[in-house]
A and B are shown apart, each in its own frame.
Chain A
């Protein structure tokens, strides 16, 4: 049942603090992972009905009384659900060992699950205001999670994140209010219909600008990105992985493009604007990443850069571009999740994240080093890893659309990406082992296991690219592209 994606994590989260009183570690670990594994399983079960029907709409009733509780699931949302479940399961596996020294696991897991429930909810609702609400739920949970370490850095980052994020939410809310004022409705379909009969281009243009700013801030598009390099590195590693891997995509990219695709319509002008924002993010963030000393900060800038790629693909609006964007979204979620988890492993192993202090860990910690290499190469786009294919598709789509300049910058930036990832790899893992790190040992079992699972996904998806692309990405992208055309009727 689709509703379980929201209810199960919420229920488990509600009871976890109580359970935490009984069992400090074991029960929360088991419960959280079981819940997430169930969600992953559930999302795989939904694949078949979605491909046969195209979409699922469920109306729920409460004790026989009809209430307005509608859930809509199509290829795009299922794709997101699957990605969320997969990455969050790996992250929670990682947390089993990693959170040992933070303590209060139950509390952590509870917040973690609320965040997942909110993301799932955001993906499932067909209603503007609900989108906003779930975005806020996820945001509140993530503020707390960023500050979970309670050091002064964490608190400051969380505070900054909160303050900027609130600005974004405010503009999103404002925009929703104006649209409600225009159409008297909030559900996607009704609003799209209402807008078609209406001639209010300027007003709507401003609304779209607010959306772009609000969701762009959530997605950390440049110039709305400033919070991310502070917030993501400060959080505990699993949370960095969640934020960079999933949250910015769900509450930023998914929300923005869901609204653009199914409500407002991706007009050529908007497409151009978003592509420009995307390419700026790709390039500027890649340059910024080069200068970083802290692994996690470097990864955070890289997230901005990769989000740029995703936006570039999705904003292009051609089926191939959308497919590339979606595929890159998935690949980035897994690979960046992996890299943040790896940075957590490194911190766990050595106690530092400063690249200049590390060195020669490769021989001491082969699993961490190997999985890190896989993730880095995947994001940097080295064949045959998954990231190569998605970048290739995006670049081909750009060339097909005759956007040669964009394609060129995209290629150049991917070289920069490779550069800074090799920098991490070389400084941290290759070369002679330093005196300091003679005694280090490989990360504990669950941390390594989570890393290996994600690395395998990067590798296997890359190797079995054709079946994955054909059965999974391409149909979702084509359905979306058809949807755009339907919505585009009235034109912005």
Chain B
């Protein structure tokens, strides 16, 4: 296969995007058919490329080592395949769900454009090229959020743009530092020890990667977007694409560009970020009253597991982190899609209004349940496997605190999903919504496919671990370390798994305690925790966006601009008005007086100039 196929992989979705932009809004079905077929073709292409392994396309671009350099190898082929798969599912889903969206042309256009940029970012083998695609993704994210058509959509879109822009900016600076210290921009040629400047570069690039993945504290736009953006966008971007891209880059950073040692300061920083993200986000998720918002906080919380896993810098931890990435993309995508399915039929996602939908929407409920159990880490689903690997990795680093944090996360993850599932699908039928029925096949089908995948990846975990994950780590770990992670992946009978199962039991207990206390209303099951003395105040502050760095930053900037205007800008303006302008006027006036239109006078200047020139030249010659 010729390597120009790589270029076509990027160009094809872009061309499709343009076609979809151009199809007039009145024509029905055509756009959906094109989108599904094109994404199916891309998915097939993903398989083709995955079977290819190594391909590379290099041509001169901007000079100075900035080449148009695309490289396909195992890892990028894997991510590419996953991206294409999710694109296909989302297109299938959107075919019905988004059918009547007033700005449907833009929706599909940006969807495929985002796919094109993502493929480019994955295939890029030159940092400048990577930045190009990475930045371009911000624009599509922005545009897709505004398609939520809510009053606050625009504001949230700007928020995502600024947070993303900040993260990307720090990544660019990191790349700049790396370039300065290594002198090359080719991604496959860089491998440095993270010391001194390189450590700064590592941190800066890491911010870029985890910012894209949505780890704390760069997550705050995601919960806002859950309410303001189309739900399929949530399944598309924060749940799958951004996780895949962000964690892909993080893995590349820790495995390829830098040699991260287990237990080093940088590794611990990563683990702290991961652990903090897990715990803080899951606490926020627990108390949410809205289905989509609850899911969005989990989308943040789960990133913590991936970051933690990769931060361990121990093969099993890294493998767990990467495995968790693909698992998460599957079940979180499925969860968002099922919430969309509920929204599609009932028109709401508020937990309070919903209830007992399992009978009317059995397939959605089934898909949701499988995915929810998977995310909670219930044996034998995929979430269990990858979480176990992360736990093992965290314990092996010798800092059990991180494992404990991860377990705490597991407790509340399960608790919150018990609450969500209980409120939406089970329990008594809500009286607030009219009778309804199951969603159309294109909506249910992607959810069920994802649910089946969750089961497959859990039960036959050897399959993904051996075909996808292990080759990534080959050659990256010290010789002799076993790369077969399947041995204890599904082992129920070891202390680690024991603790995990204990956590699930605690979660169950908590849920039923809260359910009883809340008058047997499932959506109130988290209230006992919500009302704990210190937590209550923290939650209130958090609801008021006190911990949202972006909101605080905006407030600070507003304050700063006022101060600067009063105390710096006005005085400078005064100086400018009075001093600069008057000096300028004076000079101009003086010079103008010398130009009075008298020929003799002009001749005098000329002769004077000549005398001066002669004198200077003679001086210079001496």
Say if the two chains contact directly (CB < 8 Å): yes
Chain A positions within 8 Å of B, measured between CB atoms, are: 159-160, 163-164, 167-168, 171, 201-202, 205-206, 208-210, 212-213, 216-217, 222-224, 226-227, 229-230, 269-270, 272-273, 277, 284, 287-288, 290-291, 492
Contact residues, B592-611 vs A (CB, 8 A): 592, 595, 597, 599, 601-603, 605-606, 608-610
Please choose the segment from B305-313, B534-542, B612-620 that sits at the chain A interface, where 4 or more of its residues have CB less than 8 A away: B612-620
Interface-side segment among B197-205, B553-561, B581-589: B581-589
| Whole-angstrom distance between the Cβ of A218 and the nearest chain B Cβ | 12
Which chain B residues border A205 with CB–CB below 8 Å? Answer: 614, 617-618, 620-621
Asked if residues A167 and B621 are in contact (CB atoms below 8 Å), the reply is: no
B588 near A290 with CB under 8 A, answer yes
Task: Report the minimal beta-carbon distance from B604 to chain A, rounded to whole angstroms.
Answer: 9
Query: Beyond A212-B613, A213-B609: 18 further Cβ-contacts under 8 Å?
Result: A164-B602, A167-B603, A167-B606, A168-B606, A171-B610, A205-B620, A209-B613, A217-B606, A222-B609, A223-B606, A226-B595, A226-B606, A269-B621, A273-B620, A288-B595, A291-B585, A291-B588, A492-B621
Which chain B residue shows the least CB distance to A160? B599
How far, in Å, is A417 (CB) from chain B's closest CB? Answer: 13
Kindly list chain A residues whose C-beta atoms are within 8 Å of the C-beta of B618: 202, 205-206
Within 8 A of A (CB), among B23-69: none
Q: Could you say which residues of chain A place their CB within 8 Å of the CB of B613?
A: 209, 212-213, 216, 273, 277
| Contact of A160 (CB < 8 Å), options: B584, B592, B602, B617 | B602
Q: Which residues on the A side are within 8 Å of B605 (C-beta)? A: 223-224, 226
10 A-B pairs with least C-beta separation:
A226-B602, A291-B588, A223-B609, A269-B620, A209-B614, A213-B610, A205-B617, A209-B613, A223-B605, A209-B617
**Which of B603, B608, B620 lies in contact with A164, CB distance below 8 A?**
B603
Question: Does B1 touch A at the CB level, under 8 Å?
Answer: no
Interface residue? B591 (CB, 8 A): yes
In the complex formed, the residue of A with least CB distance to B606 is A224
Are the C-beta atoms of A287 and B609 separated by less than 8 Å? no
Q: Which of A168, A212, A223, A273 has the most CB of B within 10 A?
A: A223
- CB contacts (< 8 Å) of B601 on chain A: these are 226
Are B617 and A287 in contact (CB-based, < 8 A)? no
A160 to B618, CA, bound (A): 30
Cα of A56 to Cα of B252 in the assembled complex, Å: 58
- Shortest Cβ distance from A232 into chain B, in angstroms? 13
Residues of B within 8 A of A226 (CB): 595, 601-602, 605-606
- Chain B residues with CB under 8 Å of A291's CB are 585, 588-589, 591-592
For residue A221, which residue of chain B has the nearest CB?
A: B609
Is B599 a contact of A224 with CB atoms below 8 Å? Answer: no
Nearest residue (CB) in B for A156 is B597
Give the A-B pair count, Cβ closer than 8 A: 83
A277 to B610, CA, bound (A): 12
Given A217-B606, A223-B608, A226-B595, also A288-B588 (CB < 8 A): yes
- Min C-beta distance of A80 to chain B, whole Å: 25
Interface of A is mostly: helix
Q: How far is B612's CA from A222's CA once the two chains are assembled, in angstroms?
A: 12
CB distance from B114 to the nearest CB of A (A): 28
Q: Are B591 and A227 within 8 A (Cβ)?
A: no
Question: Which chain B positions have C-beta within 8 A of A287?
Answer: 584, 587-588, 591
Residue of B nearest to A213 (CB): B610
Contact B621 A201 (CB under 8 A): yes
A-B contact list, 13 entries, CB within 8 Å: A164-B606, A167-B606, A168-B606, A202-B621, A213-B613, A216-B613, A223-B609, A223-B612, A226-B602, A269-B621, A270-B617, A287-B584, A287-B591
Count of chain B residues with Cβ under 8 Å from any Cβ of A? 26
CA distance A131 to B533 in the complex (A): 95
A230 and chain B: residue at smallest CB distance: B597
Tell me how far the C-beta of B451 lies from the nearest C-beta in chain A, rounded to whole angstroms.
Answer: 53
Inter-chain contact B609/A224, CB cutoff 8 Å: yes
A211 nearest CB neighbor, chain B only: B613
Which residues of B sit under 8 angstroms from A208, Cβ to Cβ?
Answer: 617
* A49 to B610 alpha-carbon distance, docked (Å): 41
Given contacts A229-B595, A287-B591, A291-B592, contact A206 B620 (CB under 8 A): no
B607 nearest CB neighbor, chain A only: A167
Minimum CB–CB distance for A59 against chain B, Å? 36
Q: Which of A216, A277, A288 contacts B591 (CB 8 A)?
A: A288
Point out the residue from A163, A206, A223, A284 that lies within 8 Å of B617, measured CB to CB. Answer: A206
Contact A163-B603, Cβ < 8 Å, known A208-B617, A223-B609, A287-B584: yes
Chain A residues within 8 Å of B592, by CB? 288, 291
Chain B residues lying within 8 Å of A217, measured Cβ to Cβ, are 606
A273 contacts B606, C-beta separation under 8 Å: no
Contact assessment for B599 and A163 in the assembled complex, using a CB-CB cutoff below 8 Å? yes
Q: Are A290 and B614 in contact (CB under 8 A)?
A: no
**Within 8 Å CB of A163, what residues of B?**
599, 603
**CA–CA, A205 to B622, complex, Å?**
11
Give every chain B residue within 8 A of A492 (Cβ-Cβ). Answer: 621
Q: How far is the CB of B589 from chain A (nearest CB, A)?
A: 7
* Least Cβ–Cβ distance between B68 and chain A, in angstroms: 16
Cβ distance A471 to chain B, nearest Cβ, rounded Å: 15
Distance A492 CA – B621 CA, assembled complex (angstroms): 7
Bound-state Cα–Cα, A212 to B617, Å: 11
Taking the closest CB of chain B, its distance from the CB of A222, in whole angstroms, is 8
List chain A residues, Cβ under 8 A from B603: 163-164, 167
Smallest CB gap from B599: residue in A: A160
For the complex, give the distance between the alpha carbons of A202 and B620 in Å: 10
Contacts of B612 in A (CB 8 A): 223
Cα distance, A408 to B53, chains bound together (Å): 55
Please give me the residue from chain A that is nearest to B597 by CB atom: A230
Q: Which residues of B contact A284 (CB under 8 A)?
A: 591
Shortest distance in angstroms between A143's beta carbon and chain B's nearest beta carbon?
Answer: 14
In chain A, what residue has the closest Cβ to B583? A287
Shortest CB distance A27–B (Å): 40
Cβ-closest chain A residue relative to B619? A269
Name which residue of chain A comes closest to B615, CB basis.
A209
A residues less than 8 Å from B617 (CB atoms) = 205-206, 208-209, 269-270, 273
A433 to B154, CA, bound (A): 36
Residues of the A chain whose Cβ atoms lie less than 8 Å from the Cβ of B614: 205-206, 209
Of chain A, the residue at the smallest CB distance from B592 is A291
Q: Which residue of A lies closest to B602 (CB)?
A: A226
- B223 CB, nearest partner CB in chain A, Å: 40
1/0 per residue B568-593: CB within 8 Å of A?
00000000000000001101110110
Residues of A within 8 A of B589 (CB): 291
Residues of A contacting B609 in the complex (Cβ-Cβ under 8 angstroms): 213, 216, 222-224
Chain B residues whose C-beta falls within 8 Å of the C-beta of A272 in the assembled complex: 620
Expressed in whole angstroms, the Cα–Cα distance for A229 and B594 within the complex equals 13
Q: How far is the CA of A201 from the CA of B618 in the complex (A)?
A: 9
Complex Cα distance, B606 from A216, in Å, reads 10
- Residue on B nearest A222 in the bound complex, by CB: B609
Report the separation of the CA atoms of residues A284 and B592 in the bound assembly, to the nearest whole angstrom. 10
CB distance from B233 to the nearest CB of A (A): 34
CB within 8 Å for A209 and B588 given contacts A160-B599, A226-B595, A227-B602: no
Highest count of chain A CB atoms <10 Å: which of B612, B617, B620? B617
Contact B606 A213 (CB under 8 A): yes
A275 to chain B, nearest CB (A): 12
| Residue on A nearest B605 in the bound complex, by CB | A223
- Which residue from chain A places its CB closest to the CB of B63 in the assembled complex? A466
Residues in chain B near residue A229, CB distance under 8 A? 595
When distances are taken between beta carbons in the complex, the residues of chain A under 8 Å from B595 are 226, 229, 288
Contacts of B621 in A (CB 8 A): 201-202, 205, 269, 492
Smallest CB gap from B600: residue in A: A163
Q: Are A273 and B591 in contact (CB under 8 A)?
A: no
Residues in B whose Cβ lies below 8 Å from that of A167 = 603, 606
Bound-state CA distance A273–B609 (Å) is 12
| Interchain CA distance A415-B150 in the complex, whole Å | 44
Interface string of B346-361 (1 = CB under 8 A from A): 0000000000000000
Name the residue on B nearest A272 (C-beta): B620
Q: How far is the CB of B592 from chain A (nearest CB, A)?
A: 5
Query: A171: nearest residue on chain B (CB-CB)?
Result: B610
- Determine which residue in A222, A269, A291 has the highest number of CB atoms from chain B within 10 A of its CB, and name it: A291
